[in-house]
Amino acid sequence: MSFRLAIKARRKEKYMNSKHKPIPQFSSEDEEREFWATHDSTEYLDWNKAEKNPTFSRLKLSTRTVSIRLPESLIAALKTLANKRDVPYQSLMKMFLAEKVREETSVQPPQPDSN
């Protein structure tokens, strides 16, 4: 369970007679990140009551703009592929990059020896 969801659930329940400390309000993600990096979450949350394997259907990942130089021919090919799939070419580029990163970072099964 993410800290944000835990905080939201905790405030919703409003159980003040708990042995846990109240979770402070944060003015930014950086402030919250610093807080949790320097505090023990078990003093604020009962992790035994946390949802196991929650889904975050509305989670939007933080993004950052990057600039890269690509050959015109590659951009044209990407636009053609994107048009066939009816998606913006930048979205297709993100999909291709994510797929390749997943492939490269996944654990590959050991290859049998050819001896």
Q: What is the pLDDT of residue 13?
A: 60
For the full predicted model, state whether its pTM sits above 0.85.
no
Taking residue 44's Cβ as centre, other Cβ atoms within 10 Å add up to: 19
Q: What is the pLDDT of residue 35?
A: 94
DSSP 28: S
Q: What is the pLDDT along the chain (115 residues), one digit of tens a residue?
A: 566 666 666 665 654 556 888 899 999 989 999 999 999 999 988 888 888 888 888 888 888 899 999 999 999 999 999 999 999 999 999 999 999 999 998 866 666 666 5
Q: What angle do CA 22, 25, 26 make, to 5 degrees?
A: 135
